[in-house]
């Protein structure tokens, strides 16, 4: 058998080449279907990016920095469902978008978090500095920790005075405590400044953190 004949026999076993896609001047639908035919597959309409997952956000900071104001505005701005816990003593209360109650034992909190995250809710834990330290031990890297501060120590003291809720002795303790708490900022993932009269800017910063965390390729694994 000649080499040309052998080559012809060999080539006869090759699959036929895919049909060329239509010319670019073709109808858009024809071009789309032609590309599918050329590739031998259909184009999926499924989203390319994975859907954002529910997250745990811990917001803390010294007394007087506006934690409640930031969280309230955040709930009004975000379309995501939010559920919030706070650890101050007081009667349990609820609002349209949040549930406020005292953080109880670890097992109770873990059940609460898992239940709401299974429903697609983001979890916001609003705690004092000591509470944030405890949560870091419990949650580790499962949560995002944000430290909220005033623009300066002077501004913070003026806010505390303006509240008119403490005596001078109590204010002295508050300020001394705040100075110590600021030193623990390094234990948090992010810091956000809530300057006087600039609540919207602080809320936008927190929203940016949430969006960035949800857009991560390697997301935090919630393990509680």
Determine whether 174 is an active site residue.
yes
Query: Which spans in 119-167 are helix H?
Result: 129-139, 153-163
pLDDT at 59 over 90: yes
Across the range 61-79, mean pLDDT stands at 90
Tell me the per-residue pLDDT of 125-183, one tens digit each, with 9 for 90 and over.
999 999 899 889 888 999 999 999 999 999 999 999 998 888 899 999 999 999 999 99
Same domain, 163 and 203: yes
Would residue 50 count as lying in a domain? Answer: no
Determine whether 86 is an active site residue.
yes
Tell me the per-residue pLDDT of 79-123, one tens digit each, with 9 for 90 and over.
766 666 655 443 333 333 333 333 444 566 778 888 888 888 888
Would residue 12 count as lying in a domain? Answer: yes
Across the range 197-203, mean pLDDT stands at 96
Same domain, 119 and 32: no
Q: Which domain holds residue 10?
A: 3-39
Determine whether 184 is an active site residue.
no
Same domain, 140 and 191: yes
Would residue 186 count as lying in a domain? Answer: yes
Domain tally, the chain: 2
Average pLDDT, the chain: 81
Per the model's pLDDT, the better-predicted residue between 189 and 123 turns out to be 189
SS3 125: strand
Same domain, 35 and 109: no
Q: Are 53 and 219 in contact (CB under 8 A)?
A: yes
Same domain, 13 and 103: no
**Which residue in the list 83, 126, 136, 174 is annotated as catalytic?**
174
Question: What's the confidence (pLDDT) of residue 93?
Answer: 34
Per the model's pLDDT, the better-predicted residue between 21 and 206 turns out to be 206
What pairing do the DSSP bridges indicate for beta strands 93-94 and 99-100? antiparallel
**Which residue in the list 73, 86, 126, 136 is annotated as catalytic?**
86
Can you give the CATH number for the domain in which 194 is found? 3.40.50.300
Same domain, 28 and 92: no
Confidence of residue 15 (pLDDT cuts 50, 70, 90): low
40 backbone φψ class: left, alpha, beta (φ>0; ψ -120 to 50): left
SS3 164: coil
Question: What's the confidence (pLDDT) of residue 57?
Answer: 93
Same domain, 61 and 34: no
Would residue 29 count as lying in a domain? Answer: yes
Would residue 34 count as lying in a domain? Answer: yes
Same domain, 28 and 103: no
Would residue 153 count as lying in a domain? Answer: yes
* 196 Cβ neighbours under 8 A, 6+ residues apart: 150, 151, 155, 159
SS3 1: coil
* 155 Cβ neighbours under 8 A, 6+ residues apart: 195, 196
Residue 45's Cβ-count burial label (10 Å; 0-12, 13-18, 19+) is exposed
Would residue 224 count as lying in a domain? Answer: no
Kindly compute the dihedral angle of the four CA atoms of residues 65, 71, 73, 77, in this order, to the nearest 10 degrees: 140
Same domain, 31 and 120: no
Sign, Cα dihedral of 73, 114, 87, 208: negative
Q: Strands of 5-158 (E only): list them.
A: 56-60, 82-86, 93-94, 99-100, 122-126, 143-149
Report the alpha-carbon distance of residue 91 to residue 99 in Å, rounded.
Answer: 12
Would residue 126 count as lying in a domain? Answer: yes
- CA 86 from chain centre, in angstroms, equals 18
Question: What's the confidence (pLDDT) of residue 90?
Answer: 37
Same domain, 103 and 173: yes
CA dist list (Å): 30 to 40, 42, 69:
15, 13, 55
Same domain, 94 and 31: no
Neighbours of 22 (CB within 10 A): 18
Same domain, 190 and 102: yes
């Amino acid at each position: 058998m000649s080499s040309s004949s052998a080559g012809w026999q060999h080539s006869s076993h090759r699959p036929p080449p895919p049909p060329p896609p239509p010319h670019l001047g073709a109808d858009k639908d024809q071009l789309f279907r032609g590309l599918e035919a050329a590739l031998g597959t259909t184009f999926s309409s499924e989203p390319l990016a994975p859907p954002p997952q529910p997250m745990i956000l811990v917001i803390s900071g010294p007394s007087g920095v506006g934690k409640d104001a930031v969280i309230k505005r955040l709930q009004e701005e975000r379309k995501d469902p939010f559920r919030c816990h706070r650890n101050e003593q007081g009667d349990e209360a609820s609002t349209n978008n949040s549930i406020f109650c005292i953080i109880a034992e670890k097992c109770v909190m873990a059940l609460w978090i898992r239940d709401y995250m299974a429903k697609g809710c983001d979890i916001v834990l609003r705690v004092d500095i000591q509470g944030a330290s405890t949560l870091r031990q419990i949650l580790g890297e499962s949560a995002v920790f944000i430290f909220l501060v005033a623009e300066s120590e002077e501004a913070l003291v003026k806010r505390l005075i303006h509240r008119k809720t403490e005596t001078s002795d109590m204010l002295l303790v508050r300020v001394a405590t705040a100075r110590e708490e600021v030193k623990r900022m390094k234990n948090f993932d992010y810091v956000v400044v809530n300057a006087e009269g600039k609540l919207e800017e602080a809320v936008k910063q927190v929203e940016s953190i949430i969006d960035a965390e949800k857009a991560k390729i390697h997301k935090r694994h919630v393990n509680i």
